[in-house]
Each structure stands twice: as C-alpha cells, then as structure tokens.
Amino acid sequence: MNGPEIGRRVVLQRFAQALALGAGTGALPSRPSRGAAPEAAVDVRLGEPIGTIKPALYSQFAEHIGGVIYDGIWVGPDSKIPNVDGVRRALVEHVKQLGKIVIRWPGGCFADKYHWRDGIGPRALRPRRFGRWREETETNQFGTHEFIRFCRLCGTEPYLAANIGTGTAEEFQQWVEYCNAPAGATTLADERVANGDREPFGVHYWGVGNESWGCGGKFTPEDYCREYRRFTEWVPGYNVPLYLIAAGPNGNDVDWTRRFFQKWADYARAPIQGWAPHYYCGTTGHALKFTTDQWYEMFHKALKMESLIADQWRTLGEFDKEHHIKLVIDEWGTWHPEGTEINKRHLFEQMGCLRDALVAALTLDTFNRHADKVDMANIAQLVNNLQSLFLADGDRFVATPNFHVFAMYRPHHGAQAVRLEVESAEVSFQAAGRAAAIPRVAGSASRQGKALTLTLVHTHASEPVEVTIRLRDGAAAAVQQTVLTHESLNAHNTFELPEVVTPKSTVTDLKGATFVCKLPAASVTRLDVRLV
Ligand code: AHR
C-alpha cells in the first residue's frame, strides 16, 4: 500500500489495540469522542527536496457527459443565469481560485467520437449529433472557441484530447493547426480568425486517444502504439512546444504499459511527453450512506495511488532510462453508484461529502510526494459528475468539500516538495470480509522561501490525534492551522446549506523546531509555517 516515498512508517504498537477496537465497527457515520488522543509524529526534511509541485497536479477534467458542459459550464449567452459569454459566472469565479491549473476537454470516452469541426463556426449552424452517452443530442454549442474562452476567463490552460478511436490522423493534425497557427499562416488559421479568434490558442497539451484499452477503440497495447505513432508522426508545432500524452492503462496495469513501450522501443520512439493511467476509487455502496468500514476502505483504495505511481514509473524507466516521459494521471477520483444526483440528466453525478474530501486530500498529497514524477493530474470531473468540485443546476450552484481541499492546497502550487516521514498507528478495518489497515496520518510538505506548507490527513473516524511535528534543518516562527472537518462523516454542502463543510483557520501559538499539533478526527489540515 505504501511505497518508500511515504517515508519510514512505524506502527506504534501501544495504540494498535485501542484502534482495532475503535475502528471499523460497521456502524453508520457518527463520531463518539473517546479518551485521550494518541500520538503520531511527522518529520519534515527541509533539506531534502523532491521537485517543484506543478500547479498542473491540481488540474481538472470536463467532458461532454450528463451535466458537465451543458448546465455545469455552458448556460448560453442569452440565459438568465449570470454568465460571461455563455459560461456560468459563478463557476468562473470559483475556478479562478484554483490557480494556474489545466482543464482537459472534451473527454474521456466522448473524445473518441468527437469531430472538432462540429464545434466551430456560427453556433446556430452547428450540426446536432448523438452524444457519446445515452445518445442524448449533442448540440455542439460548446466547441473549441468556447472552451478556450472558458480557460482564458479562469486563467487556466487548455488540454485537448484528440479522437483516435473514430477520427483520423489528419483531423488531429488539422485541429493542432487550427488552434496554434498564427493568423495569415494557413487557411485553417484564417478560418479561426473568421470564427472570432485572431490570437492563436497556443495549446500545449494534446492527448492522443483516451482509454485506448476500452472506450477509446479497444486496442491491444501494440495496436494502440502503432496508431499513436501514425497520429504523431508529423504534427505541426507553430512555435508551441507540444506536450503529447499517450493513453495509459486501466489502473495500475503494468502489463499494458510494458507491452505498449516494448512496441514503442522496437518500432520507433514516437514522441511522448506524458503517460496517462486512469485510476478510480469505485464503490458498490452509496455516496452518502456508508459504514465506518467503508469509510476506511475508500482511503485504502485512494492510497493505492502511491503504488500505481511507483510501479508505472519503474516500468517507464525500463524503456526510458532518463525518465523524459512523466506521468499524467488525467482521470482520478471516487466513483459511487447513482442515487445522489441533483438532476437525473446529470449522468454519473454524485454528492461529494467529507469522505470524498479526504480522498482528494490523500491523493493530492501523494502527487506532491511524487512531484518529480507526475507532471499533471486531472480529477474527474469539474462539475456535476463524479468527484466534482462544484454542483450546478439551473441558477443554483454550490462548491463541494472537494473544492475546499483544492483551495486549501493552493500554497503547494509552485513550491518545492520536501521529504516527509510519518510515524503513526494504523487503523484496522474489514474490507470484503478481510482484515485491512491504513495509516492514521498521511500528508505532504512543500517550501517556498520562508513559507512551509504542511498538509495532513487524519483518517480516524472518531478520535483526534496529537502529532509531534519535527522540522529538520529549520524552526517555526509562527504557525497558522486551517482545518476541514465535520462531526458527520457524510457531511456535504447543498444548494440550501452551502457551508456545512468549509475550512476554518486559527492562528496558533506553536513555534520552534518541534511542536505538537492536534488533528481532529476525520480531517484535512493545512499548517502554514513561517520559518525562522
Ligand atoms: O469520467 C467518466 C468516464 O470514465 C470517462 O469518459 C472515461 O474516460 C472513464 O472511463
């Protein structure tokens, strides 16, 4: 479960029995308080840098599916819902708070049936097609120009996923040219200008296929590699360095990765900058009704991101010894069965609660700890879908607890990740009739000059924990603590009650090279440490 990068994890035996009794009782979410808080220790190795945390680790994914684009992002310029050029204004205001992230579009599975020319030109004249999902009509009102406008309004970068499943290599190359060629250079560039955008879109990130083992064509890794090479054999750059992303495996399927790269090495080393596995934490339960065992089980699944990164990285290294190719986890998140959607049209929409927020935090901490290996990660999906940051329906809009985690982690953007070692007891629980365990405390740390950001997730469902923080090679002059928690494990924000789960900050009197910090049960904590 935990790779070496988590650091030395010592289980403190003296707490093991109490935890075994206190955890995984199978009861519905509730938080009885019990006895004195046991300890954990965190060593922050300020002198051991890992790599710069790219803001792109906090990226998003927006697909033409259910309510993500239509209703979530696009309401249309004539709508009564406050909008900027047709894009929901409340969403723009919130996405701006996420920093200089990347947004992946138009899919997902949708990308492999999407023909970009359907989404350009006067909106009234655009063709209507069957959508990829449920065969709803895709009106193409939101196309390339609208997406780029959305990204620019939010201060984010676009990532376009090209159609390899039902499209052609030429169609892909022409999309790149349409987006990136300077005005006047080619007929396609002039068509872009005629459609309203003189300035090239300067799209850097391009996905070449999506889930090619599944909805993206059901290829074998070898066949996908052949197609990938054909699509990328010649792609116009137009002064924009292209970052090409190949579709990786379903979860941590090392065999898929090895077979693809074996073919890649034998056949021709087509340009690849990013390798994109997808990993979802699925449940058979319910987004809001779960037992404490299911609470822990979800984190057990989330923590598998650690071994996914380690295994995929090692496999890439067999073929790309200097590691020019980085990981791009361009779909990740929780996936609960239907039942909590706010609008039945919003396929895969789920109500994100405190449990999802902790999954987000555990996963983002994992990415931070691997800042040298992961170039980008995109939670699925931005709005009205799986582990969404926002829910919107008509004129109603709410930020989920997931959003607050992303906002809390913002100080990590652009900072230097430093090594963290966590010692804590494990929490034991039952998953599918078998005993399992997860660490009580996990986290990540980063430094920017005198500012140290430490984020910690405390997974225990009912007891607080006291953590001794030891700063190696440094000392704290001041510490501010921001906490996201709630006494109900399934607490969530609704249109009617939008601030049930929101972070609270306090200025502490903690200081020095060693200090003790209390983490509530079921919480995400950020410590903003001003170093001496
Ligand atoms: O995020 C929903 C779907 O999940 C995406 O379209 C697909 O790539 C994945 O299987």
pLDDT tens digits for 257-299?
A: 999 999 999 987 999 999 999 999 998 889 999 999 999 999 9
Among 138, 157, 177, 211, the one annotated catalytic: 211
Work out the pLDDT band at 239, boundaries 50, 70, 90. confident
Does any ligand 1 atom lie closer than 6 A to the CB of residue 109?
yes
pLDDT tens digits for 163-218?
A: 999 999 999 999 999 999 999 999 999 999 999 999 999 999 999 999 999 999 99
Maximal CA-CA distance, the chain = 73
Does any ligand 1 atom lie closer than 6 A to the CB of residue 107?
yes
pLDDT tens digits for 208-231?
A: 999 999 999 999 999 999 999 999
Work out the pLDDT band at 39, boundaries 50, 70, 90. confident
Report field, pTM of the whole predicted structure over 0.85: yes
Among 177, 331, 349, 463, the one annotated catalytic: 331
Q: For strand 476-484 and strand 39-52, is the pairing parallel, antiparallel, or unpaired?
A: unpaired
pLDDT tens digits for 106-153?
A: 999 999 999 999 999 999 999 999 988 887 899 999 999 999 999 999
- CA pair distance 512, 223, nearest whole angstrom: 58
Least-confidence region, from 33-42, 54-63, 155-164? 33-42
CA of 137 to the centre of ligand 1 (A): 19
- CA pair distance 307, 318, nearest whole angstrom: 17
pLDDT of res. 370: 98
pLDDT tens digits for 392-445?
A: 999 999 999 999 999 999 999 999 999 999 999 999 999 989 999 999 999 999
Q: State yes or no: pLDDT of 380 exceeds 90.
A: yes
Does any ligand 1 atom lie closer than 6 A to the CB of residue 108?
yes
CA of 258 to the centre of ligand 1 (A): 23
Closest residue by CA, ligand 1 atom 3: 108
Q: What is the average pLDDT across 87-105?
A: 98
Nearest residue to 360 via CA among 404, 424, 395, 296: 404
pLDDT of res. 17: 29
Q: State yes or no: pLDDT of 38 exceeds 80.
A: no
Q: What is the average pLDDT across 27-42?
A: 56
Domains and CATH numbers, the chain: 9-51+417-531 (2.60.40.1180), 59-415 (3.20.20.80)
Q: Is 138 a catalytic residue?
A: no
Closest residue by CA, ligand 1 atom 7: 108
More confident residue, 178 or 17: 178
Closest residue by CA, ligand 1 atom 9: 108
pLDDT of res. 260: 98
Does any ligand 1 atom lie closer than 6 A to the CB of residue 331?
yes
Closest residue by CA, ligand 1 atom 1: 380
Does any ligand 1 atom lie closer than 6 A to the CB of residue 50?
no
Q: Is 211 a catalytic residue?
A: yes
Does any ligand 1 atom lie closer than 6 A to the CB of residue 380?
yes
In our burial notation (b when 16+ CB lie closer than 10 A, e otherwise), range 5-31 reads bbbebeebeebbeebbebbbeeeebeb
CA of 387 to the centre of ligand 1 (A): 12
The mean predicted confidence, pLDDT, of the chain is 92
Q: State yes or no: pLDDT of 9 exceeds 60.
A: no
pLDDT of res. 432: 87
Report the chain's terminal Cα–Cα distance, integer Å.
36
Does any ligand 1 atom lie closer than 6 A to the CB of residue 352?
no
Share of the chain above pLDDT 90, in %: 89
Mutate to test the pocket of ligand 1, among 61, 278, 336 (most ligand atoms within 8 A of CB): 278
Does any ligand 1 atom lie closer than 6 A to the CB of residue 112?
no
72 with 60: CB under 8 angstroms? Answer: no
Does any ligand 1 atom lie closer than 6 A to the CB of residue 72?
no
Residue holding tokens 């927006």?
62
Closest residue by CA, ligand 1 atom 2: 108
Does any ligand 1 atom lie closer than 6 A to the CB of residue 388?
no
Closest residue by CA, ligand 1 atom 6: 108
In our burial notation (b when 16+ CB lie closer than 10 A, e otherwise), range 411-437 reads bbbebbbbbbbbbbbbbbbbbeeeebb
Closest residue by CA, ligand 1 atom 4: 108
Q: State yes or no: pLDDT of 529 exceeds 80.
A: yes
Q: What is the average pLDDT across 46-51?
A: 98
434 to 24, 290, 293: CA distances (angstroms): 12, 17, 11
Question: What does DSSP assign to residue 364?
Answer: H
In our burial notation (b when 16+ CB lie closer than 10 A, e otherwise), range 385-409 reads bbbbbbbbbeeebbbbbbbbbbbbb
